[in-house]
Amino acid sequence: MLHLLAASSARLGLIFLLAGCTMLVDDSLPAPTTIAPDLGPSFIPETKVFRIVPAADAGGAGKNPPTHAELIEQGKSPLPGSQPGTEKVLMHFHGRGDSRIVLPYQRSGALLWLLVSCEEEAPMAIRSFDVRGIVVARYDLDPCRVAEGGGGTEDGTSTFVELWTYPEVEYDVTVMSSELGTR
């Protein structure tokens, strides 16, 4: 009698278990939307944006154009919205494929610049995140070129950057800071 009671309890438990695994709603999933991707920088609404658009012709005749860091060393200030003479190169990174870069903790200036150039034209997505993992800035370069592209934000919260591109694409990232220029 005890075995019969245990067997029927086990069957009843199995029925309840299987009933809990069935779908209660049989609605089909909505069709994916055909919204075009956002090309260009986007940021949290209160962030001031300074976009750097790479040159359409990357220097021509196989010559690489000067980087923003090289122009600053020559006394030229190519960063829009930046106060001349306050620009500092914080780090330079050479990578290939997807990467995650931890940004320098100690930095000066109100603006944070993320500039990238690729050895070959390819799509590149760049995201900077704060310490909580919230996206502070996003740049979609399609395509990333030999001329540097990216931009600057009035941002002191970014702690790391993620880059997404094809696995074979090599690129250089320069992280700079500067003070906000007067208008």
Domains of the chain: 46-178 (2.60.120.380)
pLDDT digits (tens, 9 = 90+) for 38-55: 444 444 444 566 778 776
Confidence of residue 181 (pLDDT cuts 50, 70, 90): confident
Cα-based distances in Å from 153 to 56, 119, 176: 23, 25, 11
pLDDT at position 108: 75
Predicted confidence band of residue 96 (pLDDT cuts 50, 70, 90) = very high
Q: What percent of the chain has pLDDT over 90?
A: 31
Residue 121's pLDDT is: 93
